[in-house]
Each structure stands twice: as structure tokens, then as C-alpha cells.
């Protein structure tokens, strides 16, 4: 007999009850959903093919045909922006999947196993935290490109951002695991004969999970920024349409001196809104799961 | 006293190990790329004399076993011998040394302003949490944090240099002034620094604001703050004597960690403004695939952050009485 | 003779979800000069809220909505902020649970003890430091440890530091909020003895807040019992323990195993305390009270019995 209201629905609506109270969380969610919608319906929303060149309509500021203007080759910037959303979301989410999984695993093991293994992992985390982020990414992408592996550049970018972005998550998870580990119910579980794996998955992970989730969302924000920066530096895929690429082309074609403000402003604003969206969601989840951060409304 | 020395020696040890791992990482990176490593260090698309390739091989000891190569490489790097930059036709070390001071000036000034501004606004935002000033400051911070650094630079150039014509666009000084007085030179350099510093400051300050705000909120809920109030201190006294000293401590360690991202920000800023620092150098090394230079730069970047972290550790032992010097 | 502290009809509510949590609802009691009062009740009954109200140290989502707190004839509730700051610590001070972070981790304890002295009196720093050191010795800590930091002390010693700090400005009333709850039995006894000694020596009035009646039995002269935001009984210790009037008090006392009595299981009061967001109309203990009847649907007013006792129950 299936219950009328399934447990999943109850959890989701319960969560929404709490989440909807945090104003910034709702705003963040609205922004992110907005961009997801654009990405999903890109083909319906963009009036032109983003790669279509029109030599007669170059360097045009926003007009009735090209809502965001055109670039040096006549591409319609609005269409480019719409399709570019897909790349940003794709890279952001997938790179974060890698970072979040790696970071959580390392954080879990690093916090749970004390003494040598745990401390060793702590050193590893600290090491990665110290390495300068952008230079590392640049060096990695440059080297991987030189290796001429037949993987599309997009996935190289995803991979590199993913394996360099885990240290923040790992550090946060690790300190949380350290706190949870000391709690009594862990001892009780152990006395009852629970093995390490069981304790980790059944007891520690659920307690740590909200933090994992909050951190993952914040990581997406960082990943989007990294992706944009890589594209801008010319390390991304030159054939894909992405916001970073738009800016890269803008700068290479002297948009600045030609005062083509429309070419520069739109991608920037979109980036800001998307990153802000994820950041707001991440902070809201953090606030909800950490009672101390909650505001005591006067 | 002695305990502190031991503690710092241990930290210095870790720092050294980190640097060593970076060197090994650099070493391995090279070997992973296809083709003759010696050939890779030379300009592509051109025929190179055999003798040049041979001297490269000798320099890196490429005929010897890998373990020996590694040792040679480590020793060379520690002696600050990073090889030869084919693009600049000079030893990598001297190329970097020429540009490094510019970056240090840019980063130094920007970070000093960011930290002061960020901590100040962050403390107020945290203390008056939930009130309009908090929401406004934090929103501002959030917006700037979400901007790519290079984009801020572009917008600033477009506004102030192109549109309004106030600040010079590129470089760090005007060539013609090379014979002008020192004061004029400094003023000129200052003018060149304004926009890059603003760019770098805007992104960093947001991070420090958030760090301080969170730290402050954590401290605000502690019992000793209630005790301080119970003693009859004014809110201002509670903030200055009890809350801020405790909120400042964890913030300092986070500053050092943030530095690994600041390097990236400086990189973008220098590229946009054609500012002749090591960021600009990285850009050029990337464009021309000058791997020797790229490696040297990566090493220096890492060393800078390691030094900064170590400095933070030292400072921390002096200001936090709870640090266990064991 | 007027009491040192007179609390009349105190109402302190917390705001939550657009409604009020009636944490302290129409509470009245007094404390005489040199008297030690124990304020007892289970968790959530409002005793800590009473303590915080006395010094107006409530969090932003709580406020005093009615009543008066008369100290030396002046109403603390209506005091200006300036006067309030001058009253704090100098006239009334408070000792929190020292096991937690009630001491500033980055300041030496002698500085923390001297701080209120320097704040409220016009004396030189050396003099204040000397007085602080004497207080450190008074509570049984060696003077050489005065310049140590809080984390270098054990829980029991931190509690002593808190006590020394509370006495810095020689107040006439000291509130102690669960001072020994987190300590082991030996340290508990030491601290209790310390408090008793100091109280006698300095003719202090104290309000000791705790859920542990045995502590009150050992250290206090008078005791007041709170339940669900209301004060239900107030009498001197011996009388109340021998002959409790309020059904809740009897219930509490029955919950203590007695070595000398016959072998009976201690009886716990059935049910649980009411939700203070929507407390029941009428007597708040009625749902769990064995003596409840129709008249308990109206909140019983407190009345004085036998000259010196106070009880809020229709049945007495």
C-alpha cells in the first residue's frame, strides 16, 4: 500500500518550509533557476545562431534586432549569452561534482582517522590550500594541452578545476568530522559493534551532510568564476560559446578602446548574477544548518 | 621562549617540505609532456641547432637516471637557478627578479587597503548584524566578490581611462619621465597604480569583509561577551576590548590562506593593465609556451604564499595565548 | 525593613514566530540584606531568564514587558542605560557557568578581574591590580597564577576566578547561575563551601540558580521554586523541605531518593512542562497535579501563609 504522501515529498516540503524563510536563499535560488531555465530553453530563446556571422552588422550597440548588440564579426551577443549559459552551468556543476566528492572523502577520512593517516591527510589538505590557485590551474591546463590527449578541451577544464578545488571543502568537512567524532553516540555505536565504514556512512555522514551540500554550492560559484577566467585567458575551448570566451574576444579585438561597452557589460553582469545566486544559496544552507549563524530577530 | 622556537622550527620544516613538493611537482610536470624535455624548453616552430639542444640536455642532466635528474633539479631550484627563458633570452631568475618588485608593490598596497577596509566594514557589519548597514555592506561585498577580477579591471579602464581620460591605461610608468625628479616619478608611478590597486582591492576586500563578519558573529555569541556587558561596559567597549581581539585571531590565519587566491587576482590585474609584474610575465610565458619561465613563476608564486603563511604563523604565536607551543 | 531586592510582577517574554514565549510571567519575590536565596526549577522554567532580567542582560529577542525590579528603592526596569551600566557589577554582579567560555580567552585573569574595578572606581591601575590579586587569593588560587590565561585553569578553578571577578566591586548582591552544575562532586563541594564562606564574611546577598535542590539545601537560607514561568512557592529552606505546600514542590522532593527512608522507588511527576508559547489558562501545573480540580482553571494568585511563606495554589 503506497502512502498518500511519500516520505520524499514530506522531506522536500519540510525543507522548503525552513529554506523559504531565508530571504537571501530564495533570491539565490531564483537567480540560479533563472539561468538553468535559459540554458535549458536556449534554442527557443536565442533569436540567432550564436555562431552566425553578419559582416554588415558588426560593432553595433544594442538595437531592436540585436538586443545586446553585436561583436566584431557580427555575432549576436544576446544569442551568445544565452548559449554561453550552458557552458558556465555545465562546467560549474561537473567540476564541483569532482571537487565535492574528492573533498568530502578526504575530509571524512582525514577527520575520522586520527593519528598518522589523519594527520597525513591534514598535511595534504594544507599543502593544497597553500598552492596558488590560478597559477596552478594555468600550469595544469597548459601542460595537459601540450600532452595532446584527445579529450575535448571543455572536459580538460572541468577536470582541472575539479581536482584543484577540493581543498576548501576538505578542510571544512574535516573540522566538522572532528567535532562530530567526539560525540557520545559514536562511542555507543562502536560499543555496539559498528565497524568504521558503518559509522562513517550511517552516523557521521548524515551529520556532516548539510555542510557538504552548502560547501558544494559555494564551490559551484567558485568553479564558474574559474571557468570564466580560464576562457578569458585563452585556455578554454575556442570553439565553444561561453561568457568567458565572449570577454576574451572582446579584449583581443580592442573592445575597450572602441568603447564597445555592450560587449563587455553583458557577460560581466551575467557572471555576477549567476555566481551571486549560488553564493546566496550556499550561505543560506550554512545559516540554516548552523544554529549559531541564525539571526535572532529583534 | 624555547618552546616557541621549537614550534616555529617545526612550522618552518613543514614550509620547506611544501616548497620541496612544489619543486617535485614542477619536475614531474615536465616529464609528463610528450617529446624531449630539452626540446620543449626551446622555442617551437623553429629549427634549433643541435649544440643548443645538447647544452640544454647537459644543464638538466637528461642523460642521467631520473632520480639523479630530480636531485639536480631540486638543487638547482633551491639555488634559484631556474634555467633559461628563450623568449627573453635571459636566465629565468633574472627575468623574474626584474618584475617581482612591481608585483610586490601592487599586491602589498592592495592587500593593506583590502585588509583594513574589509576588516573594518566586516566588524561593523557583524556587530550590527541584520540592520541595514550590515545588509548593505554585505551585499556590496557579495557583488564584488562575484565579479571576475579581470572584468573589474576592464570596466575601470573603460570608465576612467577611455571615457573620462583620467588615469593612464597601461604599464607602471611613463617612459618620458625617466629623467624627471624622484617625486615626479613616484607620482607618475602612483597614477599608474591607482586603477590596478582599486581592481585588486575591490575583490579582496569583499573576502576579508566576510571573514571578519563571520568571525565576529561567532565571537558575539560567546558567554564572555555577556560577562563583559554584565560588568557595565558600554557596547563600544565590549566590542573593542573583548569581541574584536577574539574575532581578529582566526581572521589572521584566513588572510594567509586567502593569499593563494590573491596571486590569481594579481595575475589578472596585471594582464589587463599590462602592468609589468610577474603576472604579466606569466601571461607572456603562457602565450609563447616558455615552459622554463612558467615553471619558475609557479615556483615563486608558491614560495610567496608559503612565506606569507609562515609569517602569519609567527605573528599568531605572539598574539594568541592559547597556541600550544609543543 | 525594606528588602535589598524587590521583584514585583515581573514579565519577561521572548519573541518567536510572531508570538511570545512567556518565559517569566508575573513573578514576585524579594531578597533581604545578607540573605541567600535559592531559585530552583527544572530546565526551561524561567529561572535563568529571571537572572538575566535582573541585570537587563536579555538577548535582543527578549524584553521585560511589565513589573518592577526594585534595588535599593530604584527600579532597574526603568533605569536609563547610563545608570544601568553604573549599577551593573557595582551593585549586582553575576557568576555564569565558568566551565564554558565565560572568560575572555585572550586576557589574563588578573586583567579581567581588575577591569570592572577600573571601570567603576577612580583608582590607579596598580592599585586595581593589587586588589584583583587579593581576590584571586581569596578564592583559593595561588597569587602566582594571577597572570595566567583562562585556558590554563581547570573548570573548578575557572569557577573560582568567576567568583573572584564577581566580587571585584564589592557588590551587595551576587547572582550565581548554575555555578557547580558542570563540576565533579569534590569540586562542587569546595565551591559551595567557598560561596558560603564568602557570603558570610562579606554579608553578601546571593541568589543561587540551580535545578539541583540538594545544592540549595546545603547552601541557602531561603528557597523559591519556579515552574513554567511562574513562582509557585517561596519559604525558608528547612520549612519547605520538611513541609512543602505546593504540589509541585512535593513532587520534586519525592523525586529524590532518601537513604534513610524505606525502600521505595522515587516517584517522578507524570507528564511534562507546558509549552510556554501557548501555556494553559489557569494554573500551569494543573495538568500534572494530583490535587487539581475545577477551580484550578483560573490562575491562582500568590498569597502569604504563616507570615513568611508564599505559595500560589488554590489548595493551600
**Tens digit of pLDDT for each residue in A92-111?**
999 999 999 999 988 888 87
Against chain B, the chains showing at least 3 CB pairs within 8 Å are: A, C
Interface test with B, best of C106, C147, C167, C171 (most B CBs within 10 A): C106
Q: B22 in contact with A at a CB cutoff of 8 Å?
A: yes
The answer on pLDDT for C52 being more than 80 is yes
Note the pLDDT tens digit of each residue in B249-275: 888 888 888 888 899 999 999 998 888
Q: Under a CB-based contact definition with an 8 Å cutoff, are residues B57 and B51 in contact?
A: no
Give the three-state DSSP class for C56. Answer: coil
Give the three-state DSSP class for C246. Answer: coil
Q: Which residues of chain B have pLDDT under 50?
A: 326
Which of A46, A78, A97 is closest to A270 using CA atoms? A78
Q: Under a CB-based contact definition with an 8 Å cutoff, are residues B235 and C85 in contact?
A: no
Q: Which residues of C touch A298 (CB under 8 A)?
A: 15, 60-61
Query: Which pLDDT band holds residue A298 (cuts at 50, 70, 90)?
Result: very low
Query: Which of B 86-105 lie inside 8 A of A, CB atoms?
Result: none
pLDDT at B86: 76
pLDDT at A74: 80
> Between A148 and B115, where is the model more confident?
B115
Query: Which pLDDT band holds residue A297 (cuts at 50, 70, 90)?
Result: very low
Q: Is the ipTM of this complex over 0.90?
A: no
- Could you tell me which chain B residue has the CA closest to the CA of C106? B321
User: Which residue, C170, C197, C226, sits at the end of a domain?
Assistant: C170
Q: What is the mean pLDDT of residues A274-293?
A: 83
Give the integer Cα–Cα distance in Å for B14 and A108.
Answer: 23
- Could you tell me which chain A residue has the CA closest to the CA of B22? A131
Q: Which residues of B touch A147 (CB under 8 A)?
A: 32-34
Q: B254 in contact with A at a CB cutoff of 8 Å?
A: no
Are B150 and A298 in contact (CB < 8 Å)?
A: no
Q: What is the mean pLDDT of residues C276-302?
A: 80
State the smallest CA–CA distance between residue B190 and chain A in angstroms. Answer: 22
pLDDT at B78: 85
- CB within 8 A of B16, min separation 6: which ones? none
Helix (H) or strand (E) holding B76: helix B66-78
Please name each of the domains of chain B with its CATH number: 93-288 (1.10.3720.10)
Percent of chain A with pLDDT over 70: 90
Indicate whether A126 belongs to any domain: yes
Q: Which residues of A touch C59 (CB under 8 A)?
A: 296
Q: What pTM value is reported for the model?
A: 0.83
The radius of gyration of chain C from alpha carbons, rounded to an integer in Å, stands at 20
Are B223 and C86 in contact (CB < 8 Å)?
A: no
**Is C103 in the same domain as C79?**
no
Size of chain C, expressed as the number of residues it contains: 316
Are A297 and C61 in contact (CB < 8 Å)?
A: yes
Q: Which residues of B touch C107 (CB under 8 A)?
A: 242, 245
Q: Which residues of B touch A143 (CB under 8 A)?
A: 29, 32-33
- Could you tell me which chain B residue has the CA closest to the CA of A141? B286
- Could you tell me which chain A residue has the CA closest to the CA of C62? A298
Indicate whether A55 belongs to any domain: no
Q: B116 in contact with A at a CB cutoff of 8 Å?
A: no
pLDDT at B230: 92
Indicate whether A18 belongs to any domain: no
Give the three-state DSSP class for B14. Answer: helix
Q: Under a CB-based contact definition with an 8 Å cutoff, are residues C302 and C28 in contact?
A: yes
Give the integer Cα–Cα distance in Å for C48 and C35.
Answer: 19
Interface test with A, best of B12, B45, B148 (most A CBs within 10 A): B148
Structure-block grid coordinates of residue B76: 638547482
The beta-carbon neighbor of B246 closest among C94, C105, C115 is C105
> CA A5 → CA A1, A2, A11, A17, C26, distances in Å?
12, 8, 10, 16, 45
Helix (H) or strand (E) holding C231: strand C230-236
Q: Which residues of B touch A133 (CB under 8 A)?
A: 260-261, 263-264
Strand partners, B91: B84
pLDDT at B43: 64
The beta-carbon neighbor of A228 closest among B148, B257, B309 is B148
| Furthest C-alpha separation in chain B | 83
CA angle (B146 as vertex; B142, B147 as ends), nearest 5? 125
Q: Which residues of B touch C120 (CB under 8 A)?
A: 232
How many CB pairs below 8 Å do chains B and C form together?
A: 67
User: Looking at residue B148, what DSSP letter applies?
Assistant: -
- Give me the domain span that covers residue C124: 99-170
User: Alpha-carbon torsion B58, B64, B66, B70, what sign?
Assistant: negative
pLDDT at B242: 93
The answer on pLDDT for C256 being more than 90 is no
pLDDT at B152: 93
- Provide φ and ψ at C182, rounded to 5°: -90, 10
Q: B268 in contact with A at a CB cutoff of 8 Å?
A: yes
Between the ranges A219-233, C18-32, C260-274, where is the mean pLDDT highest? Answer: A219-233
**Is C86 in the same domain as C124?**
no
Give the three-state DSSP class for C311. Answer: strand
Which of C161, C155, C200, C205 is closest to C181 using CA atoms? C155
Q: Which residues of A touch B34 (CB under 8 A)?
A: 146-148
Give the integer Cα–Cα distance in Å for C242 and A153.
Answer: 85
**Is C142 in the same domain as C288?**
no
pLDDT at A99: 93
Give the integer Cα–Cα distance in Å for B22 and A136.
Answer: 10
Strand partners, C36: C206
- CB within 8 A of A124, min separation 6: which ones? A106, A110
> Between C279 and B162, where is the model more confident?
C279
User: Which residue, C170, C196, C224, sits at the end of a domain?
Assistant: C170
pLDDT at A261: 84
Q: What is the mean pLDDT of residues C217-236?
A: 90
The answer on pLDDT for C54 being more than 70 is yes
**Is C165 in the same domain as C179?**
no
Residue A143: CATH number of its domain: 1.10.3720.10
User: Alpha-carbon torsion B23, B26, B32, B38, what sign?
Assistant: negative
Give the integer Cα–Cα distance in Å for B260 and B305.
Answer: 6
- Give me the domain span that covers residue A89: 23-41+77-293
Interface test with C, best of B232, B240, B246 (most C CBs within 10 A): B232
- Could you tell me which chain C residue has the CA closest to the CA of A297? C61
User: Which residue, C120, C152, C170, sits at the end of a domain?
Assistant: C170
Burial class (CB in 10 A: 0-12, 13-18, 19+), B209: buried
Count of the separate structural domains present in chain A: 1
Q: What is the mean pLDDT of residues A273-293?
A: 84
> Between C48 and C1, where is the model more confident?
C48
> CA A287 → CA A17, A215, C2, distances in Å?
15, 12, 49
State the smallest CA–CA distance between residue A192 and chain B in angstroms. Answer: 35
Q: B224 in contact with C at a CB cutoff of 8 Å?
A: yes
Long-range contacts of B303-307 (CB under 8 A, 24+ apart): B303/B19, B303/B22, B304/A132, B304/B259, B304/B263, B305/A130, B305/A131, B305/A132, B305/B256, B305/B259, B305/B260, B305/B263, B306/A130, B306/B15, B306/B18, B306/B19, B307/B15
Indicate whether A50 belongs to any domain: no
Are B230 and C89 in contact (CB < 8 Å)?
A: yes
**Is C188 in the same domain as C201?**
yes
Are B282 and A135 in contact (CB < 8 Å)?
A: yes
> Between A55 and C55, where is the model more confident?
C55
Q: Under a CB-based contact definition with an 8 Å cutoff, are residues C150 and C158 in contact?
A: yes
- CB within 8 A of A16, min separation 6: which ones? none
Indicate whether C204 belongs to any domain: yes
Are C93 and B230 in contact (CB < 8 Å)?
A: yes
**Is C204 in the same domain as C303?**
yes
Q: B156 in contact with A at a CB cutoff of 8 Å?
A: no
Residue C32: CATH number of its domain: 3.40.50.300
Indicate whether C250 belongs to any domain: yes
Indicate whether C316 belongs to any domain: no
Indicate whether A7 belongs to any domain: no
Mean pLDDT, rounded, of chain C: 86
Indicate whether C248 belongs to any domain: yes
Which of C209, C210, C288, C281 is closest to C247 using CA atoms? C288
Structure-block grid coordinates of residue B183: 617625486
Please give, one letter per residue, the 3-state secondary structure of chain A: CCCCCCHHHHHHHHHHHHHCCCHHHHHHHHHHHHHHHHHHCHHHHCCCCCCCCCCCCCCCCCCCCCCCCECCCCCEHHHHHHHHHHHHHHHHHHHHHHHHHHHHHHHHHHHHCCHHHHHHHHHHHHHHHHCCHHHHHHHHHHHHHHCCCCCCHHHHHHHHHHHHCCHHHHHHHHHHHHHHHCCHHHHHHHHCCCCHHHHHHHHHHHHHHHHHHHHHHHHHHHHHHHHHHHHHCCCCCCCCCCHHHHHHHHHHCCCCCCCCHHHHHHHHHHHHHHHHHHHHHHHHHHHHHCHHHCCCCC
Q: Under a CB-based contact definition with an 8 Å cutoff, are residues A286 and A294 in contact?
A: no
**Is C191 in the same domain as C162?**
no
Count of the separate structural domains present in chain C: 2
Which of A182, A204, A179 is closest to A194 using CA atoms? A204
Between the ranges A188-192, A292-296, C8-12, where is the mean pLDDT highest? Answer: C8-12
The answer on pLDDT for A135 being more than 60 is yes
Which of B8-22, B54-68, C55-69, C205-219 is predicted with the least confidence, judged by mean pLDDT?
B54-68
Q: Between helices A77-112 and A243-252, what is the axis angle to 10°?
A: 120
Give the integer Cα–Cα distance in Å for B221 and C210.
Answer: 22
pLDDT at C134: 92
- Could you tell me which chain B residue has the CA closest to the CA of A274? B146
Please identify which residue in the block is written with the cell numbers 628563450: B86
Note the pLDDT tens digit of each residue in C84-120: 999 999 999 999 876 668 899 989 999 999 999 999 9
- Could you tell me which chain C residue has the CA closest to the CA of A296? C61
Q: For chain C, which residues lie within 8 Å of any Cβ of chain B, measuring from their own Cβ?
A: 55, 57, 85-90, 93-94, 96-97, 100-107, 115-116, 119-120, 149, 151, 165
Q: Under a CB-based contact definition with an 8 Å cutoff, are residues A276 and A218 in contact?
A: no
pLDDT at A113: 76
Are B226 and C104 in contact (CB < 8 Å)?
A: no
Amino acid at each position: 500500500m503506497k502512502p498518500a504522501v511519500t516520505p520524499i515529498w514530506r522531506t522536500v516540503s519540510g525543507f522548503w518550509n525552513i529554506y523559504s524563510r531565508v530571504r537571501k536563499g530564495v533570491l539565490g535560488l531564483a537567480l540560479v533557476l533563472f539561468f538553468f531555465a535559459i540554458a535549458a530553453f536556449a534554442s527557443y530563446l536565442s533569436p540567432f545562431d550564436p555562431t552566425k556571422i553578419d559582416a554588415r552588422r558588426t560593432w553595433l550597440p544594442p538595437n531592436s534586432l540585436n538586443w545586446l548588440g553585436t561583436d566584431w564579426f557580427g555575432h549576436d551577443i544576446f544569442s551568445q549569452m544565452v548559449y554561453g549559459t550552458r557552458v558556465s552551468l555545465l562546467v560549474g556543476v561537473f567540476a564541483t561534482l569532482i571537487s565535492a566528492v574528492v573533498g568530502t572523502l578526504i575530509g571524512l577520512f582525514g577527520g575520522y582517522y586520527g593519528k598518522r593517516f589523519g594527520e597525513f591527510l591534514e598535511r595534504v589538505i594544507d599543502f593544497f590550500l597553500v598552492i596558488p590557485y590560478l597559477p596552478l590551474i594555468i600550469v595544469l591546463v597548459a601542460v595537459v594541452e601540450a600532452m595532446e590527449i584527445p579529450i575535448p578541451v571543455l572536459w580538460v577544464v572541468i577536470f582541472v578545476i575539479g581536482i584543484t578545488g577540493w581543498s576548501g571543502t576538505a578542510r571544512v568537512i574535516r573540522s566538522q568530522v572532528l567535532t562530530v567524532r567526539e560525540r557520545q553516540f559514536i562511542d555507543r555505536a562502536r560499543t555496539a559493534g559498528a565497524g568504521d565504514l558503518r559509522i562513517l556512512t550511517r552516523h557521521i555522514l548524515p551529520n556532516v551532510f548539510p555542510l557538504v551540500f552548502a560547501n558544494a554550492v559555494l564551490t559551484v560559484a567558485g568553479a564558474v568564476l574559474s571557468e570564466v577566467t580560464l576562457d578569458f585567458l585563452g585556455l578554454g575551448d575556442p570553439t565553444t560559446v561561453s561568457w568567458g570566451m565572449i570577454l576574451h574576444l572582446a579584449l583581443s579585438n580592442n573592445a575597450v578602446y572602441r568603447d564597445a561597452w555592450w560587449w563587455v557589460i553583458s557577460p560581466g553582469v551575467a557572471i555576477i548574477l549567476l555566481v551571486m545566486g549560488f553564493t546566496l544559496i550556499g550561505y543560506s544552507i550554512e545559516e540554516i544548518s548552523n544554529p549559531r549563524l541564525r539571526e535572532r530577530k529583534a | 621562549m624555547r618552546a616557541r622556537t621549537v614550534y616555529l622550527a617545526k612550522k618552518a620544516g613543514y614550509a620547506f617540505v611544501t616548497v620541496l613538493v612544489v619543486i617535485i611537482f614542477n619536475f614531474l610536470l615536465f616529464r609528463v609532456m610528450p617529446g624531449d624535455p630539452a626540446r620543449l624548453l626551446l622555442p617551437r616552430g623553429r629549427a634549433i641547432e643541435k649544440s643548443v639542444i645538447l647544452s640544454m640536455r647537459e644543464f638538466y642532466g637528461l642523460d642521467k637516471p631520473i632520480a639523479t635528474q630530480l636531485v639536480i633539479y631540486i638543487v638547482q631550484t633551491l639555488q634559484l637557478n631556474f634555467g633559461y627563458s628563450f623568449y627573453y633570452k635571459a636566465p629565468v631568475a633574472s627575468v623574474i627578479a626584474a618584475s617581482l618588485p612591481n608585483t610586490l608593490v601592487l599586491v602589498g598596497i592592495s592587500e593593506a587597503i583590502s585588509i583594513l577596509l574589509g576588516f573594518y566594514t566586516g566588524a561593523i557589519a557583524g556587530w550590527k548584524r541584520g540592520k541595514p548597514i550590515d545588509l548593505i555592506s554585505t551585499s556590496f561585498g557579495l557583488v564584488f566578490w562575484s565579479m571576475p577580477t579581470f572584468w573589474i579591471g576592464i570596466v575601470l579602464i573603460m570608465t576612467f581611462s577611455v571615457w573620462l581620460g583620467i588615469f593612464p591605461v597601461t604599464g607602471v610608468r611613463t617612459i618620458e619621465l625617466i629623467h624627471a625628479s624622484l617625486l615626479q616619478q613616484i607620482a607618475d608611478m602612483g597614477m599608474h597604480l591607482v586603477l590596478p590597486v582599486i581592481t585588486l582591492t575591490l575583490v579582496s576586500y569583499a573576502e576579508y569583509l566576510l571573514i571578519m563578519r563571520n568571525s565576529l558573529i561567532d565571537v558575539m555569541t560567546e558567554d564572555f561577551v555577556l560577562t563583559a556587558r554584565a560588568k557595565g561596559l558600554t557596547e563600544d567597549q565590549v566590542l573593542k576590548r573583548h569581541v574584536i581581539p577574539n574575532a581578529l585571531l582566526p581572521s589572521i590565519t584566513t588572510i594567509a590562506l586567502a593569499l593563494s587566491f590573491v596571486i590569481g587576482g594579481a595575475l589578472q590585474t596585471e594582464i589587463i593593465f599590462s602592468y609589468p609584474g610577474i603576472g604579466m610575465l606569466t601571461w607572456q610565458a603562457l602565450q609563447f609556451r616558455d615552459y622554463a619561465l612558467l615553471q619558475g613563476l609557479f615556483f615563486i608564486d608558491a614560495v610567496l604564499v608559503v612565506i606569507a603563511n609562515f609569517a602569519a604563523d609567527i605573528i599568531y604565536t605572539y598574539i594568541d595565548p592559547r597556541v600550544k607551543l609543543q | 525593613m525594606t528588602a535589598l531586592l524587590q521583584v514585583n510582577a515581573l514579565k519577561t517574554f521572548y519573541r518567536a514566530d510572531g508570538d511570545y514565549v512567556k518565559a517569566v510571567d508575573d513573578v514576585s519575590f524579594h531578597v533581604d540584606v545578607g540573605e541567600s536565596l535559592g531559585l530552583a526549577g527544572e530546565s526551561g522554567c524561567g529561572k535563568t531568564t529571571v537572572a538575566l532580567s535582573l541585570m537587563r542582560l536579555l538577548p535582543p529577542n527578549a524584553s521585560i514587558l511589565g513589573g518592577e525590579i526594585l534595588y535599593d528603592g530604584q527600579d532597574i526596569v526603568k533605569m536609563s542605560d547610563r545608570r544601568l551600566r553604573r549599577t551593573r557589577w557595582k551593585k549586582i554582579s553575576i557568576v555564569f557557568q565558568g566551565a564554558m567560555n565565560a572568560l575572555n580567552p585572550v586576557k589574563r585573569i588578573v586583567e579581567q578581574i581588575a577591569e570592572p574595578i577600573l571601570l567603576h572606581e577612580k583608582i590607579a591601575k596598580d592599585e586595581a591590580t593589587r586588589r584583583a590579586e587579593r581576590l584571586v587569593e581569596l578564592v583559593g588560587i595561588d597569587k602566582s597564577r594571577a597572570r595566567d590565561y583562562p585556558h590554563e585553569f581547570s573548570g573548578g578553578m575557572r569557577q573560582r576566578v568567576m567568583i573572584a571577578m564577581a566580587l571585584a566591586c564589592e557588590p551587595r548582591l551576587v547572582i550565581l547561575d548554575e555555578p557547580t552544575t558542570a563540576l565533579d562532586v569534590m569540586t562542587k563541594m569546595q565551591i559551595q563551601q567557598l560561596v558560603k564562606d564568602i557570603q558570610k564574611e562579606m554579608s553578601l546577598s546571593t541568589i543561587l540558580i540551580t535545578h539541583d535542590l540538594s545544592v540549595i539545601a546545603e547552601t541557602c537560607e531561603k528557597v523559591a521554586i519556579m515552574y513554567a514561568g511562574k513562582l509557585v512557592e517561596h519559604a525558608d529552606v528547612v520549612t519547605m523541605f520538611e513541609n512543602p505546600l505546593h504540589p509541585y514542590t512535593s513532587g520534586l522532593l519525592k523525586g529524590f531518593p532518601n537513604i534513610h527512608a524505606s525502600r521505595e522507588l522515587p516517584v517522578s511527576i507524570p507528564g511534562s512542562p507546558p509549552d510556554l508559547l501557548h501555556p494553559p489558562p489557569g494554573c500551569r501545573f494543573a495538568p500534572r497535579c494530583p490535587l487539581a480540580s475545577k477551580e484550578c482553571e483560573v490562575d491562582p494568585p500568590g498569597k502569604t501563609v504563616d507570615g513568611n511563606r508564599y505559595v500560589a495554589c488554590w489548595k493551600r
